[in-house]
């Protein structure tokens, strides 16, 4: 696996083995009920558990991006985050080298979160819903996760259409990454956006061809945990999709993923442990789609 360097708050960190991003949803309507929380104390307790289980990043969101979710105002989003982020930040004092990412597409929220203890921005819209978020990332010199989404959370699953889903999304990143670089945002991570404006078949095509995104030369983050591409395919519920999630996590690691965004940290850590034993020298080369 390539060794990517990420700078955060003046310190260089090496992604020489996959990292885990644990999910904290400060929302009442996230698609997986097990990820929801209601109080700063609960957030702190769950954060400590995830960090002890192997998480390096805690991803905190106050806006449910599940398909068809009701819009949330900036005021509502910030009210859900403003006490949780400091509570989680306090826990991180006992875990050097671990970070908070704020899951938002709004520049205003990202700026407030970074000023309150967050370290990374996780933007599901890749700057398309609020281009000012690039200026926030540049001003804070923070890692920026750029995700691909077709449409917005209210419309993204109505009729997702691509000429070729993998090539189209590589094109999206190929246009965006130089813009970010020119603005001084160098610590970028790409996320193809499983479930965000993709059909079931398109999701699995992206996973099969995930190694093609290594051409971008940036770390890959994969978020498939308990998503509908798993539970619909298996005809189970999100609560019953942990086994399927683990299977796809291994597929993602074999495809070159450096960061897994997960609900179940301990199980993801076991998957990475076995992946490292299976591929002790990393993924040196996997056939590109055009080589098959």
With a CB cutoff of 8 Å and minimum separation 6, the contacts of 143 are: 6, 7, 8, 99, 101, 119, 120, 121, 187, 188, 189
Percent of all residues in the chain with a pLDDT value above 90, rounded to a whole number:
80
Domain segments of the chain as ranges: 16-284
The reply to whether 218 belongs to the active site is: no
Per-residue pLDDT tens digits for 134-167: 999 999 999 999 999 987 666 656 678 899 999 9
Q: Distance between CA atoms of 48 and 60, rounded to whole angstroms?
A: 14
Per-residue pLDDT tens digits for 240-272: 999 999 999 999 999 999 999 999 999 999 999
- Is residue 6 within 8 A of residue 187, CB to CB? The reply is yes
| pTM (2 d.p.) | 0.92
- In 69-191, alpha helices (H): 74-81, 84-92, 107-115, 133-140, 165-182
Residue 283: per-residue pLDDT? 65
- The mean pLDDT of 196-213, rounded to a whole number, is 96
Per-residue pLDDT tens digits for 7-39: 998 899 999 899 999 999 887 655 445 545 667
Residue 68: per-residue pLDDT? 63
16-284: CATH topology: TIM Barrel (3.20.20)
Q: Distance between CA atoms of 120 and 218, rounded to whole angstroms?
A: 16
The reply to whether 82 belongs to the active site is: no
Catalytic site residue from 48, 66, 261, 292? 261
Provide the pairing of β-strand 4-8 with 11-15.
antiparallel
Half-sphere exposure of 289 (CA within 13 A, CB side): 15
Q: Bridge-partner residues for 144, per DSSP?
A: 121, 188
- The mean pLDDT of 178-202, rounded to a whole number, is 96
Residue 285: per-residue pLDDT? 47
Structure tokens at 203: 């999701």
Catalytic site residue from 106, 112, 227, 232? 227
Regarding predicted confidence, which is higher, 291 or 220?
A: 220
Residue 154: per-residue pLDDT? 60
Q: Distance between CA atoms of 58 and 55, rounded to whole angstroms?
A: 7
Report the candidate in 60, 52, 17, 53 with the shortest Cα–Cα distance to residue 268: 53
């Amino acid at each position: 696996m390539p060794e990517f360097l990420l700078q955060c708050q003046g310190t260089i960190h090496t992604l020489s083995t996959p990292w885990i991003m644990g999910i904290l949803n400060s929302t009442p309507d996230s698609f997986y009920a097990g990820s929801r929380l209601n109080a700063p104390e609960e957030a702190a307790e769950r954060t400590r558990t995830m960090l002890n289980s192997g998480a390096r990043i805690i991803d905190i969101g106050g806006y449910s991006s599940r398909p068809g979710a009701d819009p949330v105002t900036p005021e509502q989003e910030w009210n859900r985050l403003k006490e949780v982020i400091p509570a989680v930040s306090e826990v991180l004092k006992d875990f050097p080298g671990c970070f908070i990412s704020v899951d938002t597409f709004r520049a205003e929220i990202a700026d407030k979160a970074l000023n309150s203890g967050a370290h990374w921005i996780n933007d599901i819209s890749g700057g398309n819903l609020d281009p000012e978020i690039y200026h926030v990332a540049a001003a804070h010199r923070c890692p920026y996760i750029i995700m691909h989404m077709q449409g917005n959370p209210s419309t993204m699953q109505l009729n997702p259409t691509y000429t070729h889903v993998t090539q189209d999304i590589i094109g999206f990143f190929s246009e965006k990454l130089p813009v970010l670089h020119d603005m001084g945002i160098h610590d970028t991570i790409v996320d193809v956006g499983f479930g965000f404006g993709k059909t079931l078949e398109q999701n699995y095509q992206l996973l099969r061809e995930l190694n093609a995104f290594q051409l971008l030369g940036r770390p890959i983050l994969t978020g498939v945990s308990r998503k509908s591409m798993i539970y619909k395919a298996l005809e189970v519920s999100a609560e019953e999709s942990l086994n399927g999630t683990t299977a796809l996590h291994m597929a993602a690691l074999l495809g070159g993923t450096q960061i897994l965004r997960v609900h179940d940290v301990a199980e993801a850590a076991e998957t990475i442990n076995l992946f490292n034993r299976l591929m002790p020298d990393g993924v040196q080369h996997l056939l590109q789609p055009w080589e098959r």
